[in-house]
């Protein structure tokens, strides 16, 4: 009797857990390609595929969905996050390892709602927080393009997330806090160009995924959109894209913005680090009209209240004096004593948003790494900058960066040698 009662109790508990699991799991069956409302002939439309190819460039899908030296769109690049490593899946139409069995409905559910084929919640390393704004027509074009690619069999590596982040249902809470599903709604009080720019910046371009400060849970506050932030793990600073002075796009003309996105260079600054990737793979291929639309939208972003002047935590006079000397010896030859650079060749440092960004990471890393601006059709043989990692000490780098951040019209906080040593390693991916 006792045993039977125990068994029944066990059964009850198991049934309860099963019911709870069934209720909680957000599963749903995939839509088969045959049952899709999109027929196979539609997907073969060359105009639709061409449109999708362009939009996939705008979205820079290839950046995450291609491993270093790997087949395009076949996945494999790992995005490192503070919560663990997330490999990007294979987007080619391979039935086993890619999107070969995915219907448009499945694809739309991923892009728009951040859910996988079986309704599983996707990790927001896949930027559906932005892609949810993409229209269904555009999503269809991208889907048609991806389905037109040669299939590549390449399985996606395992997620490298630790508990509790490896429990997908924990994303329910994250989504409640940070994810608002919905296609971009045009603002009828604004111009068509402005709306196109906003659509591209907020949606496919997913600019806000980097150009914002994320909180401890990796979430983004909507009132801080595009106000700049340190990219987690990669540790570059994606500057404020508003018309903010000292670190934002104050003084950038529409043409400056278009030039940077088109060629990687402008009179106000040069793309480097992760933004060089974006220009090389994505924005240089965008239509002039779309680039102008983006500029129109960015130039409408109001400057935020200026941050209070940083309190100097230490006596910076001797540091800046030393930096003045290093600058004269190592930097002035190209960037000029006046920090104005040489138009079309070497970027200005005076008023440069990456010099003035709050953390100083960008200036430190550029001094350490040097390197080439992105190679683009508009700048196919760029002039490069020497790295100084091998020749300047932490203290010398701190001094010259502190000098640059306070020289001319710049008003950013000085840095210490400790700040430099943190960024001595090279960020490759």
Partner 1 sequence: MDTNAKLSQARSTALRCLFHIAMVALLLALSTVHAAEDQAASAVPDTIQQRVASCAACHGAHGEGSPQSGFFPRLAGKPEGYLARQLKDFQDGLRKYGPMEYTVRHLSPQYMQEIATYFAQQQVPYSRSPVPRISAETLQRGESLALKGDAARQIPACVSCHGTQLTGVQPNIPGLVGLPYDYLSSQLGSWRTKTRATVAPDCMALVANRLSDSDISAVSAWLASHELPSDLHAQPAGSITPPLPCGVLGATGDGA
213-222 long-range contacts, CB within 8 A, separation 24+: 217/174, 217/177, 217/178, 218/81, 218/82, 218/83, 218/124, 218/174, 219/174, 219/177, 219/178, 220/129, 220/178, 222/180
Task: Give the span between the Cα atoms of 411 and 101, in whole angstroms.
Answer: 55
Please identify which residue in 68, 188, 189, 318 interacts with partner 1, judged by CB under 8 A: 68
* Shortest separation between residue 252's beta carbon and partner 1, angstroms: 22
Please identify which residue in 58, 382, 394, 401 interacts with partner 1, judged by CB under 8 A: 382
Closer residue to partner 1 in complex, CB, 99/392: 392
Q: In the structure encoding, which two tokens stand for residue 287, read together?
A: 């239509």
Please identify which residue in 389, 395, 408, 416 interacts with partner 1, judged by CB under 8 A: 389
375 binds partner 1 (CB under 8 A): yes
308 binds partner 1 (CB under 8 A): no
User: x-or-dash pattern for partner 1, window 265-304, by CB under 8 A?
Assistant: -----------xx--x------------------------
Which residues make Cβ contacts (< 8 Å) with residue 299, sequence separation at least 6?
A: 243, 249, 252, 254, 257
219 binds partner 1 (CB under 8 A): no
Please identify which residue in 23, 176, 305, 428 interacts with partner 1, judged by CB under 8 A: 428
Please identify which residue in 119, 218, 219, 427 interacts with partner 1, judged by CB under 8 A: 427
Place of tokens 């700049």: 228
Task: Give the span between the Cα atoms of 409 and 134, in whole angstroms.
Answer: 40
* Shortest separation between residue 272's beta carbon and partner 1, angstroms: 10
Q: What angle do CA 375, 412, 235 make, to 5 degrees?
A: 50
Please identify which residue in 386, 393, 418, 422 interacts with partner 1, judged by CB under 8 A: 386
Residue-level length of the chain: 429
In terms of Cα–Cα distance, which of 62, 57, 55 is closest to 77? Answer: 62
* Shortest separation between residue 135's beta carbon and partner 1, angstroms: 31
User: Interface residues with partner 1 (CB under 8 A)?
Assistant: 68-69, 276-277, 280, 334, 336, 342, 345-346, 369-375, 380-391, 425-428
């Amino acid at each position: 009797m006792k045993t039977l009662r125990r068994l029944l109790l066990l059964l009850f508990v198991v049934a309860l857990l099963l019911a709870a699991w069934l209720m909680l799991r957000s599963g749903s069956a995939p839509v088969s390609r045959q049952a899709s409302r999109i027929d196979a002939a539609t997907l073969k439309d060359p105009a639709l595929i061409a449109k999708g190819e362009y939009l996939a460039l705008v979205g820079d899908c290839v950046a995450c969905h291609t491993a270093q030296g790997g087949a395009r769109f076949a996945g494999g690049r790992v995005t490192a996050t503070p919560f663990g490593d997330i490999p990007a899946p294979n987007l080619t139409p391979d039935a086993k390892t890619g999107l070969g069995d995915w219907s448009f409905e499945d694809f739309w559910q991923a892009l728009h709602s951040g859910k996988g084929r079986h309704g599983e919640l996707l990790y927001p390393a896949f930027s559906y927080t932005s892609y949810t704004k993409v229209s269904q027509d555009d999503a269809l074009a991208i889907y048609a393009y991806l389905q037109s690619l040669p299939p590549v069999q390449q399985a996606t590596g395992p997620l490298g997330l630790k508990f509790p982040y490896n429990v997908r249902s924990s994303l329910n809470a994250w989504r409640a806090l940070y994810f608002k599903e919905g296609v971009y709604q045009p603002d009828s009080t604004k111009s068509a160009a402005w709306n196109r720019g906003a659509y591209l910046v907020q949606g496919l371009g997913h600019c806000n995924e980097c150009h914002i400060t994320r909180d401890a849970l990796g979430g983004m506050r909507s009132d801080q959109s595009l106000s700049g932030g340190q990219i987690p793990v990669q540790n570059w600073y994606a500057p404020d894209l508003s018309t903010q002075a000292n670190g934002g796009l104050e003084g950038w003309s529409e043409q400056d913005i278009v030039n940077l996105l088109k060629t990687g260079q402008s009179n106000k600054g040069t793309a480097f680090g992760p933004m060089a990737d974006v220009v090389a793979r994505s924005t240089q291929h965008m239509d002039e009209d779309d680039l102008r639309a983006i500029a129109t939208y960015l130039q409408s972003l109001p400057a935020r209240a200026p941050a209070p002047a940083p309190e100097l935590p230490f006596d910076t006079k001797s540091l800046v004096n030393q930096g003045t000397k290093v600058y004269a010896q190592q930097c002035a030859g190209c960037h000029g004593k006046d920090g104005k650079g040489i138009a079309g060749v070497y970027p200005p440092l005076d008023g440069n948003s990456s010099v003035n960004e709050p953390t100083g990471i960008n200036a430190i890393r550029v001094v350490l790494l040097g390197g080439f601006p992105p190679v683009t059709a508009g700048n196919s043989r760029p002039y490069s900058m020497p790295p100084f990692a091998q020749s300047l000490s932490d203290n010398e780098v701190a001094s010259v960066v502190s000098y640059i951040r306070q020289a001319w019209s710049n008003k950013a906080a000085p840095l210490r040698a400790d700040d430099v040593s943190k960024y001595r390693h090279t960020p490759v991916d």
